[in-house]
Amino acid sequence: MSEIEIKCVQCASQTKEATDITLVTAVEGREVVITGLTGTRCPTCGEEYADAESAEKVEEVIKKFRKPAVVFKRKITKSGGRRVLGIPEEIDRALGKKENVDIWLEDDKIVAEVY
């Protein structure tokens, strides 16, 4: 690993390489904690600077937590004593001929993986 020369913008000290940077951010009102990021840290004031690789990682994690721009609202109906959830037309079209689905629950989300 090469020496990174980054001066702290807060106090102008020479920062030192760090591999245990933790970032706390909020996505859609939920607190997201990302640990084990790489970058540099100021030994004087503790200011942390994530490197480009870490910034990319953070971006990816945030994307996962963010709701897509288009969300279809549906009501769960009853059919033959079972609760049924219709697939919105737009999503059905995107699925094409796939007809197998693995369904599981993640907190209050029903996740359906179609293949």
- What is the rounded (10 degree) CA torsion for 71, 77, 82, 86? -40
Smallest separation (angstroms) from Zn ion to the CB of 55: 20
Instruction: Give which of 27, 19, 21, 25 is closest to 63, Cα–Cα.
Output: 27
Question: Per CB under 5 A, which region of 9-17, 69-77, 83-91, 103-111 contacts Zn ion?
Answer: 9-17
- Residue 23 — φ and ψ, nearest 5°? -120, 130
Residue 16 makes contact with Zn ion by CB under 5 A: no
Residue 18 makes contact with Zn ion by CB under 5 A: no
Smallest separation (angstroms) from Zn ion to the CB of 17: 15
Smallest separation (angstroms) from Zn ion to the CB of 11: 4
Query: Which one among 17, 27, 34, 47 touches Zn ion, defined by CB under 5 A?
Result: 47
